[in-house]
Each structure stands twice: as structure tokens, then as C-alpha cells.
């Protein structure tokens, strides 16, 4: 299951009968891999992987990644410094 709200992405991955101690979640850039079941998912570029959380429910790992603010909101003016 994959779902999206205005503020976050939710992805549920089946882990069968494995327990949390049998699994690990590894993030490389925006690729999330659940080791133990070798399941991988690519998160969208606006997912904040620094705040990614993995919640275990029997048989399922739920990944929750907040969305980064839109680039338009991060607009700022940069000061120009003259070297003369």
C-alpha cells in the first residue's frame, strides 16, 4: 500500500512473519531497502529522508516520510559581494 497526504508519504511493505529483530531499514539517497526481505522502494525527491520513520506492525513495515516544503517557499535573495 502506498498513500500520500499533504504532509507525508506512507508506504506499507509486507515482511511476512519476520520480527523487527530480523529486519533493518537502510536509506541510500531516496532508495529505502528493508533488509531481511530484500524489498526496496524509491521515495519521491520531495520526501525528507532525514525524518523517515519505520513502524512495525505484525507482518508489515510502514514507512513514513514527511514532505519537504516546495522550492517556491524556500526562495531567498542572495547578497552580491563586490571584490573591488
Confidence of residue 77 (pLDDT cuts 50, 70, 90): confident
pLDDT at site 72: 53
pLDDT at site 65: 96
Cell triple for 70: 516546495
Domains of the chain: 2-70 (2.60.40.790)
How confident is the model over 33-72, as pLDDT tens digits?
A: 999 999 999 999 999 999 999 999 999 999 999 999 875 5
pLDDT at site 83: 85
Question: What's the rounded Cα separation, in Å, for the pair 2 and 9?
Answer: 8
Nearest to 9 by CA among 51, 67, 55, 53: 67
Return the SS3 of 11.
strand
pLDDT at site 66: 96
Amino acid at each position: 500500500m502506498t498513500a500520500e497526504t499533504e504532509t507525508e508519504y506512507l508506504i506499507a511493505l509486507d515482511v511476512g512473519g519476520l520480527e523487527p529483530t530480523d529486519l533493518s531499514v537502510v536509506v541510500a539517497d531516496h532508495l529505502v531497502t528493508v533488509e531481511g526481505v530484500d524489498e526496496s522502494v524509491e521515495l519521491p525527491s520531495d520526501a525528507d529522508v532525514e525524518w523517515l520513520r519505520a513502524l512495525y506492525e505484525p507482518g508489515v513495515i510502514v514507512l513514513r516520510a514527511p514532505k519537504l516544503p516546495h522550492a517556491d517557499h524556500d526562495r531567498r535573495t542572495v547578497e552580491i559581494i563586490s571584490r573591488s
